[in-house]
Structure 1
């Protein structure tokens, strides 16, 4: 219900703002909101040739293709005059994201189709884990800990193994694997849910822990920093780990208090200490490496772990092939069955993803997001917050809505302020330490047709805020 109202609020407010801007002549056209593409110039006016300044008129008539660009800057395109069909079209600025119709197309071509491919492959592997008995063994090992965090889940339930694989994939920055494992976990938890259209306690806890996004190897962030010629692309790795760990602990405590989790459980404390110990130990090892060694280690660890998961699944299935025979199937046929289930899941979540992304696109292109962002930055700057921090806030603000949009702001901040600047580094930490909250809720709850998400959205947004505050303090401490 909360998500539905929020979706309506950003859509309706954006439409009202667009109409108001058009009526008051603050904008010239709405076409770019509907049909424009990201980074395209925005039409701000159209005049007859005699109405433009004489110097511009003369230059246009002499210019190649009768196009004149004033103060061209590849990072911040300024005013462009294009003379065509007796009128001069004036463009200024660039579009922040794709318009409504291109978003519909790109949601299918660039997001859903690749996601369906990932779902098909990893759901095929998960079917092998189920039939071979590997998921059952993993659930038995981890049941003592998960029973404390998810008291409503029966001992040795298969959802435990799926959640474990999801957390592990997130931990290693394997987004393509994390989503299929997470969707499978949600479907498994839905089988235990007595109210099918209302999120269960276990689903909320899982979603909030997943969204906190504890990450050990932020490979994509390191890659973007390397592309922008940072002196040490991996120098934000430790701040990213610390910030995401704070977010994960915050999510666990906030949801745990509401669900009355026993925080003094010995098995829970031991598991937490084990995770902290593993992180600290790995960080000590990484810090001993030189720059090349760090880059090689961080880029290879995630890939090797993914290969290890695939290899283990196939080998374990082969060693327990008789279990497939007992169920009148083969290893490959089981993989195909799982892949087909993944395909159906991908098709099912498409409308939820489309609806959310279109609303976000409309919100950004309407100009309302920019006004809110600038307003908040102005408020923060006037209460003494450093300009280096306020310059990076658009990344934090857009992160819950759009990973691609916040990534664009992150890259832009590194290009404008430098990858080794405080603003550039803080933007990277913001990008790494939180999740695309609205997209994740739409995908995960949409896959199981849960309408009432209860307090999931408010908790996830609170955790996002905690991550923002933590990122600022951690970045200030390190840089």
Structure 2
């Protein structure tokens, strides 16, 4: 799927370039397209180098959380919920721990740390699957929760905003949290409807009800604030939670007698390798998107979309962030590249850039996760996984747009 999308970008760009040249008499269009390949190639390396330090730091912190047993404690805390959402998974089965660790890594915004844990969880669930080529109910629910997982610390989004010179890189923290919570709830409700999971049981309602109550209280408080105060407190809460988590992981690991320095170094060593590995993916998508925009094709699509929305009497500013939303279900690197390109074109503190950042943090990459996770255990029949995953994506994107207008409009 992704290789067709990538090829399509170049073909559409070429057609757009021909249109600009033959119909609009723009003879410089192909020069701009070629120049964009050089500019985006340089940008991809600069971004990857800038990621090394942050990835290394957070992978080191995650290693401390694992070594100190905090992940296991979190697993025990939510085990009563999982045993009811996934009744075919026995209590105490290894899948419980691996699923919890994966979702915990996702919540911390550590996508690269979450992937190997997710693959382990899918393998554990496959051991319980009676039909090895068909996704089980538990596997589908896990995949949808994975792709729509609540993100407490969208570190990568913060980092990219900081690299692009944002005045306050963490100002999108609260909007992302609200949008991703909506995505998770929508995904859970969609799967529960199809699988006939009884969400009204007392234990399940306590967990979900507590989560919803927290979210509503959170939203209710921020509705009382002015725009300036809302943005200021969003930044304060985000930075306070992030640094508090760091202090908590370090303190618990130290109390447990763990050599926190050596353990941190062990986890941080993975940062360089991960940053280098993503260079080809950034390069491929940034160049394709840069060429697409240089050809005028992307602007043409957005113009058509804006005109259609305008005819309905709606605000059209959100359309500039839609490239990120359109790419998000297909490719994480592609959506990231779209977000970066929006920041570069409109300014990192512009409304489209804010909105693209919130969209980027609102959901995971459904088709990529589905292909990797199900492919790793040989599943060919995905049943309702795609439909439920895309339902969560759509809910997250709609919520991101609404919250974007609320916070930054």
Of 161, 164, 169, 2:104 maps to 164
- Provide the residue aligned with 1:341 in structure 2: 270
Q: 1:469 Cα deviation (Å)? A: 4.8
SS at match of 1:316: helix
- Provide the residue aligned with 2:186 in structure 1: 250
- Provide the residue aligned with 1:105 in structure 2: 42
Q: 1:260 Cα deviation (Å)? A: 6.0
Mapped partners of 1:3, 1:189: distance in 2: 25
Structure 1 gap segments, 5+ residues each: 36-98, 170-176, 229-233, 325-329, 415-423
Mapped partners of 1:280, 1:101: distance in 2: 47
Mapped partners of 1:227, 1:303: distance in 2: 14
- Provide the residue aligned with 2:356 in structure 1: 431
CA 351–403 in structure 1, closer or farther in 2 if over 3 Å, else same: same
Mapped partners of 1:438, 1:31: distance in 2: 36
**More helix per residue:** 2
- Provide the residue aligned with 1:390 in structure 2: 316
CA 306–244 in structure 1, closer or farther in 2 if over 3 Å, else same: closer
- Provide the residue aligned with 1:279 in structure 2: 215
Of 189, 192, 204, 2:121 maps to 189
TM-score normalised by L of structure 2: 0.70
- After superposition, where does 1:32-51 map in structure 2 within 5 Å? 32-35=32-35
- Provide the residue aligned with 1:134 in structure 2: 70
1:363 lines up with 2:292 in the alignment: yes
CA 193–358 in structure 1, closer or farther in 2 if over 3 Å, else same: farther
Q: 1:391 Cα deviation (Å)? A: 3.9
- Provide the residue aligned with 1:50 in structure 2: none
Mapped partners of 1:338, 1:123: distance in 2: 5
Of 283, 288, 299, 1:354 maps to 283
Q: Is the CA contact (8 Å cut-off) linking 1:214 and 1:241 kept in structure 2? A: yes
Q: Is the CA contact (8 Å cut-off) linking 1:356 and 1:438 kept in structure 2? A: no
- Provide the residue aligned with 2:301 in structure 1: 372
CA 350–457 in structure 1, closer or farther in 2 if over 3 Å, else same: farther
1:205 lines up with 2:144 in the alignment: yes
TM-score normalised by L of structure 1: 0.62
Structure 2 gap segments, 5+ residues each: 329-334
Q: Is the CA contact (8 Å cut-off) linking 2:363 and 2:396 kept in structure 1? A: no
Mapped partners of 1:439, 1:34: distance in 2: 32
How many equivalent residue pairs?
A: 378
CA 295–361 in structure 1, closer or farther in 2 if over 3 Å, else same: closer
Q: 1:299 Cα deviation (Å)? A: 2.2
Mapped partners of 2:371, 2:57: distance in 1: 20
Q: Is the CA contact (8 Å cut-off) linking 2:290 and 2:341 kept in structure 1? A: no
Q: 1:157 Cα deviation (Å)? A: 0.8
CA 247–408 in structure 1, closer or farther in 2 if over 3 Å, else same: farther
SS at match of 2:97: coil
Q: 1:313 Cα deviation (Å)? A: 1.6
- Provide the residue aligned with 2:8 in structure 1: 9
Alignment deviations for residues 351-390 of structure 1 (CA, whole Å, 9 cap, x no partner): 33332333222222221111111122223333x333xx22
CA 206–357 in structure 1, closer or farther in 2 if over 3 Å, else same: farther
Q: Is the CA contact (8 Å cut-off) linking 1:238 and 1:283 kept in structure 2? A: no
Mapped partners of 1:315, 1:474: distance in 2: 35
